[in-house]
Amino acid sequence: MRNNAPWLLSPEQQITPLCRWQRALDLITRLFHTPTGLIVQHYAQQNQVVSAASHPSCPYRAGVSIAAATKQFSCRVLASPQSLYYPNKAQQPDWLQQHCRDTPLFTSWLGTALYWPDGQPFGTLCLLDHTPTLYNDTLLALLAYQRDSLQNDLLLLQQYDQTRQLACRDHQTGLTNLQGFLVLAEHRAQLALQNHETLGLLYIELDGIKPAANLADSLQPTLSPQQQVDSVLKVVAKALRQHIRERDLVARVTADGFVILISLRQPDSLTCIGQRILSTPLPHHYQLRYHSMVVQQLRTEPRLWLAQLQQQAKTSTPSTVIDL
């Protein structure tokens, strides 16, 4: 994940439980009676706010680069083997007073480091206050618990990415296979519940895969029947990849069936994507058709979503059919 799309707020990585992170951060800041709480991501000598407290006095918002003073403090936290807490900067080392000139609003500084599962630094969780503070051991233990929760989410995100890259591939197309789809779709549904997302499902059928004996009159007689089928499958797979976003999930689930799991922003997103896919030029007079549905029961198994959509494909008119 860090290599492909390093920033969690990049469009390609919107599978992060940001809504839950936001709720947790707001709760922590209320319990600590502080207006400013930040989850900061550190990458390539840069720092970006992933989540900021909703308090009106908090000067930061998600997606912005953090101020120089907070950057210095965040880097100091990352270099420390334990959490750093400065209740009153006026009583702290000279470096803190020096680097905090740009943000005189903050007097109290508390931060703990966040790490990826492999031990590489992700960033920090910081709580800043404009008045001196005196947090007790219970509050500091609560902060450590929240740090562990965030790091567990980072583990899940990395596992999700690794699963996509490893064993769950269809060897003919390079897409995720059925087993991989069921695993990843379940994880995607959990994130959708946390982030209050709506998911949509597209089932795409490829008509025209004929028995080998019927392919003698192919437009490409130099290819064997199986090679002809393989070439068409690869064209379809490439088209599916081109018409979806990185965070969407595409898989080959049957010999001639593909499925796409999409995070919906608008009700007509499924139709738009389906229409774009159907515009794919295919050789050998093949046809593409699709059926679509909005996933209403995110807590049910993805296998049941797929079965419902496949049954719809057998018993109803497809959403659109184009003879290519």
pTM for this structure? 0.57
**Dihedral angle at the C-alpha atoms of 220, 223, 228, 232, nearest 10 degrees?**
-70
Edge-to-edge order in the sheet of strand 46-52: 46-52, 36-43, 121-129, 108-115, 84-86
* Mean pLDDT taken over the chain: 80
First and final C-alpha spacing in the chain = 37
pLDDT in tens, 67-88: 777 777 888 888 888 899 989 8
Q: What range does the domain containing 157 cover? A: 11-163
Decide if 6 is inside a domain: no
Domain end call among 116, 140, 163: 163
pLDDT value at position 319? 52
How many whole angstroms separate alpha carbon 75 and alpha carbon 228? 56
CB 60 within 8 A of CB 124: no
Torsion sign over Cα 138, 41, 155, 179: positive
How many whole angstroms separate alpha carbon 265 and alpha carbon 182? 23
CATH of the domain at 16: 3.30.450.40
Domain end call among 130, 148, 163: 163
Same domain, yes or no, for 91 and 201? no
* Amino acid code (one letter) for 243: H
How many whole angstroms separate alpha carbon 40 and alpha carbon 59? 14
pLDDT of 34 above 60: yes
In this prediction, residue 134 has a pLDDT band, given cuts at 50, 70 and 90, of: very high
Decide if 3 is inside a domain: no
Mean pLDDT of 21-49: 91
Number of domains present in the structure of the chain? 2
How many whole angstroms separate alpha carbon 314 and alpha carbon 26? 48
Give whole-number Cα distances, 39 to 26, 45, 74, 193, in Å.
Answer: 11, 16, 10, 21
Same domain, yes or no, for 254 and 288? yes
Same domain, yes or no, for 138 and 196? no
Mean pLDDT of 239-249: 81
pLDDT in tens, 299-319: 888 888 888 888 877 776 555
Q: What is the DSSP string of 18-52?
A: HHHHHHHHHHHHHHHT-SEEEEEEEETTEEEEEEE
pLDDT of 124 above 90: yes
pLDDT of 212 above 50: no
Decide if 1 is inside a domain: no
* Token pair in block for residue 37: 């709480």
pLDDT of 227 above 90: no
Decide if 236 is inside a domain: yes
Place of tokens 């839950």: 20
b/e per residue 63-91 (b: at least 16 CB within 10 A): eeebbebbbbbbbbbbeeeebbbbbebee
Same domain, yes or no, for 159 and 247? no
